[in-house]
Chains A and B, each alone.
Chain A
Amino acid sequence: MAYKYCVAECWGKGFITHGDSSKFQVSGFPGNVWQIPANSQDANLWVNKVAGSWKTKAEAQAIVDEQVAIAQAAWDALPDEQKQLPIGRQRPTAIVLE
């Protein structure tokens, strides 16, 4: 499936409605990047509703990469004993947008 990307801040209730979700899948990524299906009028209308800023795939990937790098740096700065905890035990890994 082909996708499009935008950046929008989730304000909470009403940002994505059940009506939206019943028509298309919205998937969130770090940096307030949202992935929606391409060639979907409903998805395009949703981006307008949330005042999303369209991004190319490369632009969206760059935003995600920056957030992952920040998370990796934060993880690297953790004391060793915290890195051994059973939850969140691994260094954040790269996310590749489809």
Chain B
Amino acid sequence: MATYYGTYGQKVQYLASDPSDPQTGQVWYNSTSAVLKVRSVTTSGTWAAGGNLGTARRVLGGAGTQTAGLAFGGLTTVNTAETEEYGGTSWTAGGNLGTARRDLGGTGTQTAALAIGGFVLPSGNTAATEEYDGTSWTSGGNLGTTRRVMGAAGTQTSALAFGGFIPPDSTATEEYDGTSWTAGGNMGTARRSPAGAGTQTAALAFGGFLYPTSNATEEYDGTSWTTGGNLGTPRTTLGGSGIQTAALAFGGLTDADAGLSATELYNGTSWTANPTGLNTARGVLGGSTAGTQTSALAFGGYTGTAPTAATEEWTGPGIGETKTVTVS
């Protein structure tokens, strides 16, 4: 009979407690609990509930990471200027935007975020940019092309804004240096409400609305856009996180404005659907634009009937986990 030692050249360790830093593939016997254990990695990601937003809203701006998120602006029953900061468990109030708005772009971190353009009542679309320092918002340089529902990527001092709705739908790309916006290469396809990920010189735009909803992905190299692999689920107003070669797409709306839960992962070439999606299907949501493909945050949005305060935390595949080996 084959033995573990004979097959792998190692013995199964006999331990009173689980090792503190087990390696992937490591097998041991826990003598205290009398079970055989193995260290493996998850093959798919999962969403778990986080703390609810203080104010349910949709078409909001988002920034930050899973444990340091930022939500700002959006639509409750009216445009709001409210900012909320997430600490990994709950949301607390931050400084209000100077101008209440919805349909805005957001990028950066919790302590260095950017609010870009959007829709202000009663005047309509705005070109205004605001910068957050962790406490309060101050005015930045205005967009060259006034618009709303654009995609965004990058940091507060090296940002990218692309697409959106003027009207008509826009291909315009603009680059921010912390002071002013300058024109970049136009997108291949005009669209509103795409998601964004990555940096100013290596960005990703995916999904959006093109009559009908889009599954198109485009990649930016700091100068021009080229086509990438199509999303498996066409959608608009979705959330995004990660970088150009390891991005995450989640949620969104269908042509009929029904909320979606679908979650997909991009590897620089193609998208792969995760077996499970958001627990609360929704679009026009906020996301952790500084998050990664394996650690992201989804918050707020529209379920198809109402704005939601729900927050969900994403843990992607490839995360180490200890499993008990069952032999019968």
Contact = CB atoms under 8 A, between A and B. Distances in A.
A95 interface: yes
Contacts of A93: 256-258, 304
- Interface SS of chain B: loop
Given A14-B49, A85-B119, A93-B256, 20 more contacts: A10-B49, A13-B50, A13-B51, A13-B90, A18-B313, A18-B315, A21-B46, A21-B47, A25-B276, A25-B279, A30-B306, A67-B305, A86-B209, A87-B149, A87-B284, A88-B257, A90-B256, A92-B304, A93-B257, A95-B304
Interface of A: 10-18, 20-22, 25-30, 67-68, 70-71, 85-90, 92-93, 95
Contact of B257 (A10, A16, A89): A89
A17 B277 CA distance: 14
Size category, B interface: 35 or more
Interface of B: 42, 44, 46-52, 58-59, 89-90, 103, 119, 148-149, 165, 192-193, 209, 237, 256-258, 261, 276-277, 279-281, 284, 302-306, 310-313, 315
B279 A12 contact: no
Contacts of A67: 305-306
A70 B303 CA distance: 14
A76 B74 CA distance: 21
Q: Which 8 A-B residue pairs are closest in the complex by CB-CB distance?
A: A21-B46, A71-B305, A15-B49, A28-B280, A12-B51, A16-B49, A18-B48, A12-B52
Contact of B48 (A21, A71, A85, A88): A21
| Residue among B46, B58, B279, B305 with most chain A CB within 10 A | B305
B229 to A, nearest CB: 25
A20 B51 CA distance: 16
Contacts of A87: 58-59, 103, 149, 193, 237, 284
A12 B48 contact: no
